[in-house]
Amino acid sequence: MPNSQAPDSVSAQSRPHHPHSRRTFLASTAVAAAAVAGGGPLLTGCGAAESTGRGGTTSGKDLKKLLPTYVASKASEPDIPGRNGSSPGFTRVPEELTASVSGKPGKGGTYTAYTPLWGTPPPKDSAYYRAVDEALGARIQWRTQDGNTYGEKLGAVLASDDVADIVCVPQWEMAGRIHGAISAKFADLGPYLSGDKVKKYPNLAAIPTEAWQMSVFGGRLRGLPMPARPLGGVVPFYRQDVFEKEGYEVPKSPDAFLALAKEITRPKSRVWACEDMWWSAQIIFGCPPEKPYYWLERDGKLVNKFETDAYLEALEWTRKLFAAKVVHPDAVAGKANDAAVRFTSGQSLMMNDGDAKWYGLTAEQKDVNPEFVIQAMDFFGPDGGDPVIYQGAPASIWSFLNKKLSKAQIEECLAIADFIAAPYGTREQRLVDYGVEGEHHTIRDGAPVKTELGVKEVVDTYRFIVSAEATVSYPDHPQVVKDYCGWMQRMGAHMRKPLFFGMQIQEPNRYASLATPFEDLAKDVVRGRKSLRDVQNAVSDWRKGGGDKLRDWYAELLEKNGSGV
């Protein structure tokens, strides 16, 4: 899969399972310092202001000083330029691949990398790794872990003394005190990248500023980001081929969706209308996104997602789908990981997933089922009008460099990262995403197509160290690029930024697990095991248990740092 798609797919898949960012730790030394001045109680342990557990964010002048200067890349022009905030699309490969890095960036060092991996693990010693390492002039020793259970191991690994040199941490795995671990264990990259210093690494300089902005942890620039597309997290897919064959009309309102779903569902023929649509429902009814972007400002007051009517309406609509038995029974049983299999085999015709599935399933089904066409339906509002869609975070996966590395080693790692961050249309990008021509891919109609060896060996791994600006570039399936970019542009017209957009926020420890019960509660409500009344009770428990104090904390954050809108 080219171009960093796996992680997106995962973010949508895993989010339902691992959004437990709870006891987050500390953040900006600036906020902590302000707390000291205000006489706030501080737990002085190892002396650093970073271990206060008070949380916060970094913004304004403090932030500007940290951010790398943006220098756009001149590698290639997209044939579908960005509109309404959409990512640029590439349907073709440029005639001539350019080189964005001269010589070998590495100096012969060897580094361990701890990263997630989705799909079948490639062989440890492969021609692909050897070829990329050769071009890097350094060796990466991979310690990959299954992406779906990555977070369960990450915590223990970070607590040990044997932390890898390069460690990838996705946003949705920052549960518990991982934020604190990041500040404690990983290097400050500011001295190497802030301001004009980044110009030494032109491909890193071409990473959008808002992605870097999300990479500030504990008041320091620590992360190497994987920039994300603005609306990639939740896409409502449907089987266009089956819809056309059966004459189904793509629904344009929640009611129409439910009516169509009833029409589609025929258990006797093993066909159900949809998978669990809870993530789409939240967008349809205009819910704010996940923590920490779950606040709205209404009449000068902060309102949490859980307190909105939109949240209740989304729950109620999803409950109706479950009650009407139009949701595939395996999805009711919580087997979300196999949703795509049920979708491709025609057992369910609509599902929401990350945008990566668009290309991923198209490529996967091309030979197995040539008629298979996956398409995204346009989001609609609660009454069938325009939806309100909140923009996703500009980056939600980072890698970090171990604090124990020497200055020279960090510089070598950054040079390696610069190579990996090469944008679309460069020789470096081709090598990282497709391996060696003739061995891992061949050129068919001007587009690279992976060989059997390529499919086996070239799996996204280097991408988890760093990535270039997010694009939509599938020259082997140009129609997917056109469809996806078109969808993104149409949806982009209704896109809004959440209140704290682009800020890397750490809630104080004591509030960190406040939102936890809602995740289970939502699952119970849509399956009819609990009622909306229970949700309202949970909201009042939430308020009493610290939700109101958390609101004050965010209000203060808003006053101090301004909004991200």
- Three-state DSSP at 511 gives helix
Positions of E strands within 181-294: 216-217, 220-221, 223-227, 235-239, 272-274
For residue 338, the minimal CB distance to other proteins (Å) is 9
Positions of E strands within 97-231: 110-117, 139-146, 166-170, 216-217, 220-221, 223-227
Should residue 319 be labelled a site residue for other proteins when binding is judged by CB under 8 A? Answer: no
Should residue 320 be labelled a site residue for other proteins when binding is judged by CB under 8 A? Answer: no
Should residue 124 be labelled a site residue for other proteins when binding is judged by CB under 8 A? Answer: no
For residue 348, the minimal CB distance to other proteins (Å) is 10
* Segment near other proteins (CB under 8 A); pick from 40-48, 57-65, 108-116, 292-300: 40-48
CB closer to other proteins out of 107 and 270: 270
Q: Residues 36, 72, 99, 159: which binds other proteins (CB under 8 A)?
A: 159
Closest CA to 172 of 10, 389, 402: 10
CB closer to other proteins out of 51 and 59: 51
Q: Residues 38, 41, 45, 300: which binds other proteins (CB under 8 A)?
A: 45
Should residue 185 be labelled a site residue for other proteins when binding is judged by CB under 8 A? Answer: yes
- Three-state DSSP at 52 gives helix
For residue 16, the minimal CB distance to other proteins (Å) is 9
For residue 224, the minimal CB distance to other proteins (Å) is 20
Should residue 51 be labelled a site residue for other proteins when binding is judged by CB under 8 A? Answer: yes
* Segment near other proteins (CB under 8 A); pick from 7-15, 147-155, 378-386, 462-470: 147-155
Rounded Cα–Cα distance for residues 345 and 367 (Å): 14
Amino acid at 421: A
CB closer to other proteins out of 523 and 549: 523
For residue 23, the minimal CB distance to other proteins (Å) is 5
CB 228 within 8 A of CB 12: no
Q: Which H or E element spans position 449?
A: strand 447-450
Task: State the sign of the Cα–Cα–Cα–Cα dihedral 205, 210, 216, 222.
Answer: negative
CB 457 within 8 A of CB 435: yes
CB 417 within 8 A of CB 201: yes
Report the helix count and the strand count for the chain, using DSSP H and E.
23, 19
For residue 184, the minimal CB distance to other proteins (Å) is 5
* Eight-state DSSP code of residue 103: S
CB closer to other proteins out of 51 and 391: 51
Should residue 176 be labelled a site residue for other proteins when binding is judged by CB under 8 A? Answer: yes
Question: What is the size of the binding site for other proteins (CB under 8 A)?
Answer: 47
Rounded Cα–Cα distance for residues 450 and 486 (Å): 26
Distance of alpha carbon 108 from the chain centroid: 32
List of residues contacting other proteins (CB under 8 A): 18, 20, 22-23, 25, 43, 45-46, 50-51, 151-152, 155, 158-159, 175-178, 180-181, 183-185, 267-268, 270, 272, 328-330, 332-336, 347, 512-513, 516-517, 520, 523-524, 527, 529-530
